[in-house]
Structure 1
């Protein structure tokens, strides 16, 4: 398969675990069928399994990050937030270029909703990405708290709903499972 005949807009959202995992699973499936995948990760700076698998796969699955290592958004001082905003703007510019140039078949904007929640980008900016998406590119957006405008524009919205989580037992992040 060389290119998608028709690409859609997918959203993985909700309070449950699995949004990025679903997007990475979709990436692996796409690469397995000869498609080129770009994943732009927002608000993530730590090493993760998806970075390592992308290195093993090669140029068919590339993960991009623009942010320097910082703490969680709510722990940042004003200067750190200003730096983060600049990095997010650079990532957004990259995203617009990817879309303008049809650089890949599947484009994942991981944790883009977190960027919106923290007011580092606007709904209008994200809607512009969706509106300018080439007809044969699949666009996948992840993160909690999806605005209605994006839900309405998307072709597929899947909500990960937490029913039960081992965090309640004091088990938090585990290498190979959560990252």
Structure 2
């Protein structure tokens, strides 16, 4: 049970095809943790070593980061067996989030790339919708990823769409360590 409580927990969605959704979620998480609140970031479908993962614990010791269904290739390239493993891991992550909501373990829970989970039909939108509808009033939630479904947008209090106007990959510049990874 939490010692410190938020006045009112709202729902944020960071979506769109532009860069910065995860970074914005982490920034809000660091702000929340800096205010003395407990933060959990559950990241789905992302693998690899990124600077943001290393920074979280250094900047905010009350900011926990956990990955489920970590992958280093696109979902559509997975075998059926690999997709089944991804689904199993995603469901474990969602069950952990459900327990954390029920037990009020964190003030802010970030579900990073949950929209990719939904877009790839790993789970149904109703599963995530149920988490949001049943969250305690004093817990904040952030959901990230491209192509947020209308059902979740309708439930959210904040919706920010990141729009790509220009990106270095258009010039053949790949992801750079410390900037995009």
User: Which bracket does the TM-score occupy, shorter chain normalised?
Assistant: over 0.9
Task: For 1:47 and 1:149, locate their aligned partners in 2 and report how far apart those are by CA, in whole Å.
Answer: 32
Identify the range of structure 1 (109-118 vs 69-78) with the bigger mean alpha-carbon deviation: 69-78
**Partner residue, 2:69:** 67
- Give the TM-score taking structure 2 as reference length: 0.94
**Partner residue, 1:124:** 126
Identify the range of structure 1 (11-20 vs 92-101) with the bigger mean alpha-carbon deviation: 92-101
Task: For 2:121 and 2:167, locate their aligned partners in 1 and report how far apart those are by CA, in whole Å.
Answer: 28
Task: For 1:112 and 1:98, locate their aligned partners in 2 and report how far apart those are by CA, in whole Å.
Answer: 17
Task: For 2:12 and 2:70, locate their aligned partners in 1 and report how far apart those are by CA, in whole Å.
Answer: 28
**Counterpart check, 1:36 vs 2:25:** no
Task: For 1:4 and 1:58, locate their aligned partners in 2 and report how far apart those are by CA, in whole Å.
Answer: 18
Identify the range of structure 1 (58-67 vs 162-171) with the bigger mean alpha-carbon deviation: 58-67
Report the CA distance between 1:154 and its aligned residue: 0.3
Task: For 2:32 and 2:126, locate their aligned partners in 1 and report how far apart those are by CA, in whole Å.
Answer: 28
Report the CA distance between 1:55 and its aligned residue: 2.6
Task: For 2:171 and 2:179, locate their aligned partners in 1 and report how far apart those are by CA, in whole Å.
Answer: 16
Task: For 2:71 and 2:166, locate their aligned partners in 1 and report how far apart those are by CA, in whole Å.
Answer: 31
Task: For 2:150 and 2:42, locate their aligned partners in 1 and report how far apart those are by CA, in whole Å.
Answer: 22
Task: For 2:69 and 2:148, locate their aligned partners in 1 and report how far apart those are by CA, in whole Å.
Answer: 22
Query: In structure 1, which of residues 11, 14, 17 is the aligned counterpart of residue 13 of structure 2?
Result: 11
Q: 1:98-146 deviations in whole A, cap 9, x for unaligned?
A: 1111110110000000000011111100101101111111100000111
Report the CA distance between 1:58 and its aligned residue: 5.5
Query: In structure 1, which of residues 142, 145, 149 is the aligned counterpart of residue 144 of structure 2?
Result: 142
Task: For 1:39 and 1:132, locate their aligned partners in 2 and report how far apart those are by CA, in whole Å.
Answer: 19
Unaligned runs of 5+ in 1: none
SS of 2:68's partner is coil
- Give the TM-score taking structure 1 as reference length: 0.95
Task: For 1:38 and 1:85, locate their aligned partners in 2 and report how far apart those are by CA, in whole Å.
Answer: 21
